[in-house]
Structure 1
Amino acid sequence: MQSLKGHLLVASPSLVAPIFARTVLLMLDHTEEGAAGLILNRPTETTVTEIAERIFEAPFTWEKPVSLGGPVPGPLMVLHTLEDLGDQEILTGVYNTVETDRVQELIHHRPEPSLVLANYAGWGPGQLESEFGDDSWLYLPATYEHVFWQGEGDLWDVVVKSINASQLSRMLRLKEIPDDPSMN
């Protein structure tokens, strides 16, 4: 089994489950025992300021939106680039922090780029692989730019176009296809 840790899991156009429709997830872990990831493109209207005091019983001021990381109840966590405060490196230069004291320190420092998330997506043994069999998901290696998306357009649209170009390239046995067709 190939681990998808550090990859993007992208909802296929046919996946219509409301929580996962048009989602892009960053895979945190993927083993024989199961898988876990975070939805990257579900910001909420709730800010860190609004929930931090209730969670940590200490005032914090940061108007950053909290994103919905998935349907499974879980801790508040932060994706960021500060190695010293990372619990786990997900891909080169991108860290995940769940440990409460470190999350509080990150919120206090308000690092950018970062993504603050509540909850996560999880799959039991073999469950994700079964969903691949149903053509529910596409995947590709994640990049820093994907995780901290600031570009134009919807992240899901951008990633699906990238996957389609990659699949076409493999089918035609081409080494590379330019992003800009005028460059061919």
Structure 2
Amino acid sequence: MYDSPQDDMFWFECGVDGFRIDTAGMYSKDQAFLDAPIVFQDQYYQPSAIYTNNGPRTHEFHKEMFDQVTSKYDVMTVGEVGYCSKEEALKYVGASENEMNMIFLFDVIEVGCEDGDKFRYKGFNLKDLKQAVQNECSFIEGTDAWFTVFIENHDQARTISRFGDKKHQVKNGKLLSIMQTTLTGTKVKKLE
């Protein structure tokens, strides 16, 4: 159960406007603790999302945090969920669900990554990038949900390296920046 509402209330009382909830889809695990299937023969650690993501009590925990803390303040929460379908993502951020206000969608971040392992980058094609952008921008259509726009994070190589080339680095950076500012969703600014 959610056992630190006083800690979060302390920060809200100090004037914090919200929280980024890290790995928000991994708070409840399959209690059978089964071994992940061998997907990649060449590595010791295997993808375990089927047992570790969107577990049986995850939404219960988020609703409890909303009820006990965040609903009592004029604040926002954004969740790093990842690795779920649109239907599952809406359970986290649909306004009627009373869990979180926004979600990080990983469609663009994971373009070119191996299915099942975001750290295995195999390269991308423009069609896949376009589809990922379309998937993210259409996320809110017909829903009461909202999401953030971001095109890189600490888990992947920088977008200029992934979606461009060294010869055109400055132009690539400007183009990616323009693309990001025109997309639907709340823009995330990296704080230095």
Give the TM-score normalised by structure 2: 0.20
Higher-Rg member (1/2): 2
The answer to which structure has the higher strand fraction is 1
The answer to which structure has the higher helix fraction is 2
More RCO (CA 8 Å, sep 6+): 1
Give the TM-score normalised by structure 1: 0.20
